[in-house]
């Protein structure tokens, strides 16, 4: 199962929790695990609070963490910092499914992180496994 998001900025966070929850509900799985995966080398999936100020703080930190320039891959397509952030944070997350729902904490949301936008179409794959 997959869905798509589009991004409007170089670095952007998008809350994808509702879309993922929809897949979990439709799967009928009551107890299991949900794998959320972005098949991209310059994006990541994280789990955290999605509050507007924190969203801006994350974007600011990501922009500051690995400022472009000086990386060897930049000679190819000038996006080494996006690859590095993606690799450090990871392309996917696994969330427990309990009672047919994502077992997220009260303030936890599933967040897609764009590091090389804007992009018209970013894939997100959702796999719900019964255990
Ligand atoms: Zn590249």
Distance 2 CA to ligand 1 centre (A): 24
Beta bridge partners of 12: 114
- Using the mean position of ligand 1's atoms as its centre, give its distance from the Cα of residue 84 in Å: 10
Chain position carrying tokens 């999936």: 45
| 2.60.120.460, 2.30.110.10, 2.40.50.140, 1.25.40.10: CATH of 2-130 | 2.60.120.460
Q: What string of pLDDT tens digits covers the 131 residues of the chain? A: 999 999 999 999 999 999 999 999 999 999 999 999 999 999 999 999 999 999 999 999 998 887 767 899 999 998 999 999 999 999 999 999 999 999 999 999 999 999 999 999 999 999 999 99
> How far away, in angstroms, is 64 Cα from ligand 1 center?
19
Dist. CA 74 → ligand 1 center (Å): 7
85 alpha carbon – ligand 1 mean position (Å): 12
> Do the beta carbons of residue 108 and residue 47 sit within 8 Å?
yes
Instruction: Calculate how far, in angstroms, residue 117's C-alpha sits from the geometric centre of ligand 1.
Output: 12
φ and ψ at residue 32, rounded to 5 degrees: 175, -145
Tokens of 90: 């990871």
Kindly report the number of other CB atoms within 10 A of residue 93's CB atom. Answer: 18
Determine the Cα–Cα distance for residues 51 and 100; give it in Å rounded to an integer. 26
Residue spans per domain, the chain: 2-130
């Amino acid at each position: 199962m997959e869905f798509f998001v589009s991004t409007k900025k170089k670095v952007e966070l998008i809350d994808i929790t509702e879309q993922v929850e929809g897949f979990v509900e439709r799967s009928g799985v009551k107890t299991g695990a949900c794998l959320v995966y972005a098949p991209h080398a310059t994006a990541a999936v994280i789990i955290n609070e999605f509050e507007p100020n924190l969203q801006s703080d994350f974007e600011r930190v990501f922009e500051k963490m690995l400022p472009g320039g000086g990386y060897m891959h930049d000679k190819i397509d000038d996006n080494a910092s996006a690859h590095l952030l993606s690799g450090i944070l990871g392309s996917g997350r696994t969330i427990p499914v309990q009672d047919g729902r994502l077992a997220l904490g009260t303030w936890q949301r599933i967040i897609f992180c764009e590091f090389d936008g804007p992009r018209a179409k970013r894939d997100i794959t959702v796999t719900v496994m019964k255990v």
